[in-house]
């Protein structure tokens, strides 16, 4: 994995009065084009973990204060926002919640949702902090409570969650490197492709967007040493193994395939410190496109997935993100003139992608922000009518966090079975490829 530090490039950093004036003119005036797109799509993210300590409302309010100090972008994006300033008590009371439960058997899955409530009150911050405390005190595993942070994706990405878990600064500054300008021909082609893509998507979405489908959420925790050991034996990257486990299992076995009989279209994300002038000023993440040829034999499939990942990442990994950023910019420009666009059908159209695979940076709890929290740690995302699996590595576990069409949920159980089957199989050890990554 690449670095995910919060360092930024030099830029025009406005002072507090200028930020406050901009926020007063429009709640999302400070959002970058990428942030605007995720806000308009009502994309949300979550972080949740069990804790050995209990919580009261004052504890949660103090946690919010710490979060805002480390991630000041949490004070942006709502009516009446005062960027960078602490929240008054009435806002704290509105965004924290506390409940008592008998046990944790249904958690964290029982808590996971699209988090649409975040957007119901435009005068409230775009995140919520909630805790559930066990009535009888800690259970046999020492868990006294479970805590969850839910946020608009416009405010937080996976690297922010990883930094906050370590009680580190997660402010963004300027993430684009204005001194590293792409050639003007590349910028022109990207802008043209992005604008064309925006127009095509708006037209095609109104024709081909699927109806709203029943949706569900599920989590899975797997010991890291199992994934590392099997990846080493197969001679593939750990992320390739995880991508293959998820897509092969969700697609199903036999003639009936849930996603595709031929090729699974996937978008996946990674971090990259090689920034340029056309990068988004807020987000560090880059999106890449992949197409995995469907195979019944898992060993052949995982090695084919690894070869596909290698080919993609040996190329320029910035070009697709540059086009995507241009599309966001074009959509925002259209929305300024025609506020009813993009419409709801647009957000349900996924462009033929069967799944989004997101590998967030390693989450290691440290410091006051996550005191008492224990692994596994869960971190995921939701986007309208898009199947998503977010991989969250910790010290001892990697959690697989799913937002899926309900018809795929039963196949989540096939992942553990497939992993166990491969561990027990007699596979000839394969020479490791040179670029196998560490998950941290």
Q: Of 154, 173, 187, give the one whose Cα is nearest residue 74.
A: 154
103 with 219, same domain: the answer is no
Of the pLDDT bands very low, low, confident and very high (cuts 50, 70, 90), residue 351 is confident
Q: Does the pLDDT at position 360 exceed 70? A: yes
The token pair at 72 is: 């000041």
**161 lies in the same domain as 78:** yes
The last residue of a domain, from among 101, 133, 165: 165
Task: Decide which of 105, 130, 165 is a domain's last residue.
Answer: 165
CA 251 to chain centre: 22
CATH number at residue 267: 3.30.559.30
Whether residues 420 and 289 share a domain: the answer is: yes
Residue 397 parent element (H or E): strand 397-405
If asked whether residues 119 and 234 sit together in one domain, one would say: no
pLDDT of residue 1: 37
- CA-CA distance, 247 to 249, in Å (whole number)? 6
Beta strands in 75-183 (DSSP E): 96-101, 127-134, 145-152
Residues 291, 264: contact at Cβ < 8 Å? yes
Phi/psi at 383 (nearest 5 deg)? -140, 140
CATH code of residue 106: 3.30.559.10
Question: What is the pLDDT at residue 249?
Answer: 97
* pLDDT higher than 90, residue 179: no
- The average pLDDT across 66-81 equals 96
Do 214 and 331 sit in the same domain of this protein?
yes
Least confident of 56-65, 232-241, 276-285: 276-285
Provide the edge-to-edge strand list for the sheet that holds 145-152: 96-101, 127-134, 145-152, 44-51, 373-382
Based on the fold, state whether residues 190 and 85 are members of the same structural domain: no
Q: Which of 135, 165, 195 is the last residue of a domain?
A: 165
Q: Please provide residue 103's backbone torsions phi and psi, each rounded to the nearest 5 degrees.
A: -155, 175
Q: Are 239 and 374 members of one domain?
A: yes
Residue 372: phi and psi, rounded to 5, are 90, -15
Count of structural domains within the chain? 2
Residues 91-128 pLDDT 10s: 999 999 999 999 999 999 999 999 999 999 999 999 99
Residues 49 and 147 in one domain: yes
Note whether residue 5 is domain-resident: no
CA nearest neighbour of 269 among 145, 358, 341 = 358
What are the structure tokens assigned to 299, written together?
Answer: 């060993």
Provide the token pair at 405. Answer: 């069409």
- Same structural domain for residues 252 and 387? yes
Do residues 158 and 237 both lie within one domain?
Answer: no
Total residues found in the chain within this entry: 440
> How far apart are the C-alpha atoms of 313 and 110, rounded to whole Å?
37
What lies within 8 Å, CB to CB, of 55 at 6+ separation is: 98, 131, 133, 145, 147
Half-sphere exposure of 72 (CA within 13 A, CB side): 13
Domain contains 172 = no
132 and 217 belong to one structural domain = no
Domain annotation covers residue 268: yes
Residues spanned by the domain of 111: 16-165
Poorest-pLDDT segment among 38-42, 313-317, 337-341 = 313-317
349 lies in some domain: yes
**Is the pLDDT higher at 188 or at 335?**
335
Instruction: Establish if 409 belongs to a structural domain.
Output: yes
More confident residue, 199 or 9: 199
Give the model's pLDDT for residue 17: 59
Together in a domain, 149 and 236: no
């Amino acid at each position: 994995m690449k670095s995910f530090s919060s360092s930024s490039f030099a830029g025009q950093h406005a002072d507090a009065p200028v930020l406050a004036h901009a926020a007063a003119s429009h709640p999302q005036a400070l959002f970058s084009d990428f942030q605007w797109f995720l806000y308009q799509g009502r994309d949300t993210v979550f972080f949740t973990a069990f804790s050995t300590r209990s919580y009261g409302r004052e504890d949660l309010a103090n946690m919010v204060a710490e979060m805002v100090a480390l991630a000041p972008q949490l004070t942006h994006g709502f009516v009446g926002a005062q960027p960078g300033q602490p929240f008054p008590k009435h806002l704290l009371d509105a965004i924290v919640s506390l409940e008592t439960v008998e046990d944790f058997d249904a958690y964290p899955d029982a808590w996971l949702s699209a988090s649409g409530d975040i957007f119901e009150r435009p005068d409230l911050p775009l995140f919520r902090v909630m805790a559930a405390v066990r009535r009888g005190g800690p259970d046999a595993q020492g868990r006294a409570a479970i805590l969850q942070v839910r946020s608009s994706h416009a405010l937080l990405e996976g690297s922010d969650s990883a930094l906050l878990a370590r009680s580190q600064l997660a402010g963004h500054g300027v993430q684009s490197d204005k001194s590293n300008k792409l050639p003007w021909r590349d910028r022109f082609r990207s802008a043209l492709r992005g604008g064309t893509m925006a127009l095509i998507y708006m037209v095609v979405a109104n024709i081909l967007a699927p109806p709203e489908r029943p949706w569900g959420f599920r989590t899975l925790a797997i010991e890291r040493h199992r994934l590392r050991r099997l990846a080493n034996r197969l001679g593939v990257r750990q992320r390739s193994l995880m991508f293959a486990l998820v897509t092969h299992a969700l697609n199903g076995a036999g003639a009936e395939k849930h996603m595709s009989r031929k090729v699974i279209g996937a978008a996946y994300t990674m971090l990259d410190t090689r920034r340029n002038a056309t990068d988004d000023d807020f987000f560090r993440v880059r999106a890449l496109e992949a197409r995995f040829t469907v195979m019944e034999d898992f060993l052949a499939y995982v090695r084919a997935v690894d070869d596909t990942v290698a080919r993609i990442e040996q190329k320029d990994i910035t070009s697709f993100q540059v086009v995507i950023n241009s599309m966001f910019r074009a959509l925002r420009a259209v929305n300024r003139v025609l506020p009813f666009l993009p419409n709801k059908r647009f957000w349900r159209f996924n462009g033929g992608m069967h799944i989004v695979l997101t590998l967030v940076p390693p989450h290691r709890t440290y410091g006051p922000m996550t005191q008492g929290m224990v692994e596994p740690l869960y971190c995921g995302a939701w986007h309208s009518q898009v199947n998503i699996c977010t991989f969250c590595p910790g010290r001892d576990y990697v959690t697989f966090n799913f937002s899926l069409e309900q018809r795929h949920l039963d196949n989540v159980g096939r992942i553990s079975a497939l992993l166990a089957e491969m561990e027990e199989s007699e596979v000839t050890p394969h020479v490791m490829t040179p670029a196998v990554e560490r998950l941290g």
